[in-house]
Amino acid sequence: SFQIKKLVYVYLMRYAEEQQDLALLSISTFQRALKDPNQLIRASALRVLSSIRVPIIVPIMMLAIKEASSDLSPYVRKNAAHAIQKLYSLDPEQKEMLIEVIEKLLKDRSTLVAGSVVMAFEEVCPDRIDLIHKNYRKLCNLLVDVEEWGQVVIIHMLTRYARTQFVSPWKDDEAGEEYSENNFYESDEEQKEKDRKVKATYIMDPDHRLLLRNTKPLLQSRNAAVVMAVAQLYWHLAPKSEAGIVSKSLVRLLRSNREVQYIVLQNIATMSIQRKGMFEPYLKSFYVRSTDPTMIKTLKLEILTNLANEANISTLLREFQTYVKSQDKQFAAATIQAIGRCATNITEVTDTCLNGLVCLLSNRDEIVVAESVVVIKKLLQTQPAHHGEIIKHMAKLLDNITVPVARASILWLIGEYCERVPKIAPDVLRKTAKSFTNEDDLVKLQILNLGAKLYLTNSKQTKLLTQYVLNLGKYDQSYDIRDRTRFIRQLIVPNEKSGALSKYAKKIFLAQKPAPLLESPFKDRDHFQLGTLSHTLNSRATGYLELSDWPEVAPDPSVRNVEVAESPKEWTGILGKTKKEKPAEKFYSESEEEEDESASTSASGGYLESNLHPTAWRTSGSESEKEDKEEGSSDESSGSSSSSGESSDSESDNKENTAKKTSRAADESDSEDIKKKAKAISRKRSTSSSSDTESTSSEESSSDSKSESDSKSDSESGKSRSATSSKKEEKTIQDRKAPNKQDVFLLDLDDFCPVPTPVAVPTAAVLSPSLTADLEGLSLLSSSVIDVTTQVSVPTKTHELLHRMSGKGLAAHYHFSRQPGIFGDCMVSVQVTVTNTTDQKIENIHIGEKKLPPGMRMHEFNPIECLEPAGSITVSMGIDFCDSTQTASFQL
């Protein structure tokens, strides 16, 4: 059974390496499973096969991956992409072959595959940036639809890519301003954006802009990893003025669990060092709660310190005061250090900080006191002179403090400034000399130092003491101390052997020491890419890829232009025998149901030999009274499919999508109806064509294909119907109607603009003859208009189906409307916008020869009778891809 199989798979994956022979036995099973009709089985077979880490089967795996990479199912292809990485880790020698597969998969248009293949790309050949060029724009555009984990990988990859391909936007910060006010992410406006960009003084590469625009919505993702990835992308790529938008999202992430918090805070810490302004408005979000774990607390503190400036320092210091009292002593100590850093960075408050710290010296907690001592020492060092009082105070403390670092600090201070406290210093030395043997090494060294300094400045009082200390040091257990003792003795105690050096002893010991710089531990992290493991660890992790610097000159952007030849896999084709699934009888029975309707007619398309010239697509319709219609239908050949019925579906769907009300058309079409009824009978049997439509039939059939039509059944009666017909012989009539129709078309105008990816179609060549034929042609228009309020406005991407040049002025774009299929469960709805860019009318646009792979069904739109110059119309069609990504190809 399936479950057992799965568990066996799991077992095999785990133990294959240990029991290779056993695993080999099973391989033939998987090979068989790779050909299974169920895509799930194919996929899991591939998964298991690639997970068996046995070197002997590498060729088999290679073969399987190659095969799977051209599988119909995107799911299987996705798994193939995963398998690439596994095979690569098993046998890196296959690299070349794998790169080929990756290259192929990168061209894939499925969002499912994109994430995985980029992951494989990163793993196998991250330096082959040339593979990305052609897919760059596609990846940018698909990004929003890719599943979350894929997004993360793609964003990281694109960050690296962009760093190598675009010039730095940081040189000219204002440039980006102009755009930031607009909504970038409206795909509709892309074209306009492009135009504006050209005008801008500083011209950011449009592709660069595209990337930034497309990633911005992802900041709203619910997945923290995605947000983080986008944040780092903006950090590394965006102009400084725009990078600010990520901070809001990052602050939002602080609400999630503490692991996420930790990583995010680390990244914020790095960012906040370089650009304080970014997070300043969110200062209060970084206030520490007593329930936070210590690691979070210290990170927050770090950020607060980074953000400190003259304006907010007073509030910050007040906040710090509370922290110092925290029960978490480690945190309190960190706070003291933070205060120290603030004090050095902002000179105005140094004195306040110092006073505060001195107050802390009387704290009962040892760690706090010790930390303050250390910080005070550093502060005093940066501010030489006139702090004698503090030093005296600290000297008194020496008796109580036990923490070695603090003691050592005090001793050092006294030694350094012994001239300022001439009375205390020898006394201190006396005390410490007494306890020398019990001190920590660190303190001992400082005692020695102090002794040496005092010896040099005040040798009368301290000579004996120093010698005593040096003697103690000589026999100390630590060689470090013995060493130091010897060194100091030679240096300061004059004897016959020591030469000129001892003369300089005073200079050596009492030289001005440079003040230590109090710096953030995150200072040096910015050379790592944000959001990477290396950044978190602050050391290079294996597999870390250096983010390159901006290039001086942008490499040729034209490499990203997709060439015409290699474009649309979507539309290369096969044959279509599937159309006949919906029996004609069914359709007619439907229309019989509509008998009550006033002018019920039905249109049916006769599908004559499919492989003829495109014009072989002839439609014959019947109309007017129901008897006529039945008659007409019986006349239809058995091969007549329900295509035109379906196409009226698509027509109505089109109207739903665009939500256009074309009630105006109603009046006109009514009159046309009458005219046509008269003509109908004569036309009925003619093979050329006659046309008509009416909304009821289309509504009926669309409701049949299960979707939204129920909601509008009530509005049916008031619906407009426009039906026009034209025949070759009846040109005059047609011409007269044309202006009327244009109203309809104009209303139908859909407002998207194409993405700049020029994607041409192999059918282009075949198209011109068909067009010419069409122009003199038979046409059929059905536009039944339904007033529906569903506004389905999905961020859609438009793909160009037919470029206007190659199509002799006829341009077609398609996009997936991301709607539940209107024609059936498995139909994917595709909206095709046809635009006429010539100055002549184009007539009879319809789907010509279709080549569909077995199992695929296509639901084409009603032929468009006539397209006015500069007019455009949107039609919908449904395609049942049967879970495959085989391309559907057809001719217009």
Residues 356 to 415: which contact other proteins by CB under 8 A?
363-365
Q: Which stretch, 591-599, 619-627, 786-794, 797-805, contacts other proteins (CB under 8 A)?
A: 786-794
Q: Structure tokens of 746?
A: 């104009």
Name the DSSP letter for residue 779.
E
Under the criterion CB under 8 A, does residue 825 sit at the interface with other proteins? yes
Q: Is 814 helix (H, G, I), strand (E, B) or coil?
A: strand
Q: Which stretch, 57-65, 267-275, 285-293, 851-859, contacts other proteins (CB under 8 A)?
A: 285-293
User: Rounded to the nearest whole angstrom, what is the least distance from the CB of residue 47 to other proteins in the complex?
Assistant: 6
User: Rounded to the nearest whole angstrom, what is the least distance from the CB of residue 222 to other proteins in the complex?
Assistant: 5
User: Rounded to the nearest whole angstrom, what is the least distance from the CB of residue 545 to other proteins in the complex?
Assistant: 17
Q: Is 748 helix (H, G, I), strand (E, B) or coil?
A: helix
Task: Tell me if 810 sits within 8 A of 771, measured CB to CB.
Answer: yes
- Name every residue whose Cβ is closer than 8 Å to that of residue 761 and which is 6 or more positions away in sequence: 567, 568, 571, 801, 802, 806
Which H or E run contains 19?
none
Taking the least distance from each CB to other proteins, the nearer of 364 and 527 is: 364
Under the criterion CB under 8 A, does residue 262 sit at the interface with other proteins? no
Kindly give the residue spans of alpha helices, DSSP state H, lying in 254-387.
258-274, 294-307, 313-324, 329-345, 350-360, 366-382
Q: Is 593 helix (H, G, I), strand (E, B) or coil?
A: helix
Under the criterion CB under 8 A, does residue 14 sit at the interface with other proteins? no
Q: Is 850 helix (H, G, I), strand (E, B) or coil?
A: strand
Task: Tell me if 225 sits within 8 A of 152, measured CB to CB.
Answer: yes
User: Rounded to the nearest whole angstrom, what is the least distance from the CB of residue 35 to other proteins in the complex?
Assistant: 16
Kindly give the residue spans of alpha helices, DSSP state H, lying in 70-176.
74-90, 95-106, 111-124, 130-133, 136-142, 148-165
Report residue 608: phi and psi, to 5°: -85, -165
User: Rounded to the nearest whole angstrom, what is the least distance from the CB of residue 250 to other proteins in the complex?
Assistant: 11
Taking the least distance from each CB to other proteins, the nearer of 119 and 433 is: 119
Under the criterion CB under 8 A, does residue 301 sit at the interface with other proteins? no
Taking the least distance from each CB to other proteins, the nearer of 758 and 820 is: 820
Under the criterion CB under 8 A, does residue 189 sit at the interface with other proteins? no
Taking the least distance from each CB to other proteins, the nearer of 41 and 413 is: 41
Taking the least distance from each CB to other proteins, the nearer of 483 and 710 is: 710
CB-side neighbour CA atoms (13 Å) of 594:
30
Site for other proteins in 165-184 (CB under 8 A): 183
Under the criterion CB under 8 A, does residue 245 sit at the interface with other proteins? no
Site map 604..633 versus other proteins, x via CB under 8 A: ------------------------------
Taking the least distance from each CB to other proteins, the nearer of 214 and 461 is: 214
Among 201, 257, 327, 495, binds other proteins (CB under 8 A): 327
Taking the least distance from each CB to other proteins, the nearer of 91 and 172 is: 91
Beta bridge partners of 873: 834
Q: Structure tokens of 514?
A: 């440079």
Q: How, if at all, do strands 850-851 and 779-784 pair?
A: unpaired
How many residues make contact with other proteins (CB under 8 A)? 78
User: Rounded to the nearest whole angstrom, what is the least distance from the CB of residue 41 to other proteins in the complex?
Assistant: 8
Under the criterion CB under 8 A, does residue 148 sit at the interface with other proteins? yes
Kindly give the residue spans of alpha helices, DSSP state H, lying in 435-499.
441-457, 459-474, 479-492
Site for other proteins in 76-135 (CB under 8 A): 79, 82, 85-86, 112, 116, 119
Kindly give the residue spans of alpha helices, DSSP state H, lying in 610-760.
626-635, 643-658, 664-684, 695-704, 731-748
User: Rounded to the nearest whole angstrom, what is the least distance from the CB of residue 883 to other proteins in the complex?
Assistant: 5
Site for other proteins in 687-746 (CB under 8 A): 707-708, 710-711
- Name every residue whose Cβ is closer than 8 Å to that of residue 531 and which is 6 or more positions away in sequence: 156, 228, 229, 231, 232, 263, 267
Taking the least distance from each CB to other proteins, the nearer of 692 and 708 is: 708
Site for other proteins in 215-234 (CB under 8 A): 217, 220-222, 227
Site for other proteins in 414-453 (CB under 8 A): none
Residue keyed to tokens 């979000």: 285
Among 203, 564, 749, 792, binds other proteins (CB under 8 A): 792
Taking the least distance from each CB to other proteins, the nearer of 396 and 818 is: 818
CA neighbor of 848 nearest in space, from 799, 777, 748: 777
Among 40, 63, 359, 612, binds other proteins (CB under 8 A): 40
